[in-house]
Amino acid sequence: MPHANWATRPRLARDGTGTPYADWLVAAFDRWYAAPVQETRIRLFEDLISLTLGGRSRSEQVGLSPVAVVVVETDGAVEQVDSLKSAYPGACSTGLNVLTDPFTAALAVPGVVARQIGREALCRSCLDCPVHRICGGGHYAHRYRPADGFRNPSVYCHDLRRLVDHVQGRVTADLSRLPAGSHR
Ligand code: SF4
């Protein structure tokens, strides 16, 4: 998904209606999933399948896996991932520097903590959502709303729900066609 949030809406869905991003991704998923030979790997789709099957995600786009990276800038500043810069200036700052702080100090930065605690960081709407374990509230940067920070559903909520439902549907249908016991 292009970086956007509740203050700077996605270009194709500024009025909050429709699922233009999911429509595109669903078509891409169907093409990729049904290909007789896998032509390329697509991490978002692989993550969604893994999560549907009860596994984990490897990226921060979906799922509830803890974020395991920080960025070291050329001046030694330790920052959260660059994508947070799309929310507001300084959003990825930790106030730490490799010249003065151990990396483990980043684990106490509130913004980092929020991305380590899985479902505990989700808003009420996401916790009540039946696909929250798979969707994970979407990309952290896409949840930002100036009035209340990052404890919101993704600005791509409708797209994510459509995409997750579609992937779940395809995978579940395939599993149901397997002989009993063969997918355990
Ligand atoms: S689909 Fe929407 S409400 Fe459900 S977990 Fe994702 S962002 Fe939250």
Which ligand 1 atom is at minimum distance from the Cα of 154? Answer: 7
For a ligand 1 pocket test, name from 5, 61, 132 the mutation site with the most ligand atoms within 8 angstroms of its C-beta.
132
Backbone angles phi, psi at 142, to 5 degrees: -85, 0
Ligand 1 centroid to Cα of residue 140, in Å, is: 12
Q: Whose CA is nearest to atom 5 of ligand 1?
A: 132
Is the confidence at residue 74, as pLDDT, over 60?
Answer: yes
**How high is the pLDDT of residue 183?**
58
In this structure, are strands 77-79 and 71-72 parallel, antiparallel, or unpaired? antiparallel
User: Encoding tokens for residue 89?
Assistant: 């200036």
User: Encoding tokens for residue 55?
Assistant: 């596994």
For a ligand 1 pocket test, name from 123, 129, 152, 164 the mutation site with the most ligand atoms within 8 angstroms of its C-beta.
129
Q: Over the stretch 19-70, which tens digit does the pLDDT of each residue have?
A: 999 999 999 999 999 999 999 999 999 999 999 999 999 888 999 998 878 9
Q: Over the stretch 116-174, which tens digit does the pLDDT of each residue have?
A: 888 999 999 999 999 999 999 999 999 999 999 999 999 999 999 999 999 999 999 99
Is the confidence at residue 181, as pLDDT, over 70?
Answer: no
Which ligand 1 atom is at minimum distance from the Cα of 123? Answer: 8
20, with CB counted inside 10 A (0-12, 13-18, 19+), is middle
The residue behind tokens 């009540």 is 128
Which ligand 1 atom is at minimum distance from the Cα of 153? Answer: 7
27, with CB counted inside 10 A (0-12, 13-18, 19+), is exposed
Residues with CB under 6 A from ligand 1: 125-126, 129, 131-132, 135, 137-138, 153-154, 157, 160-161
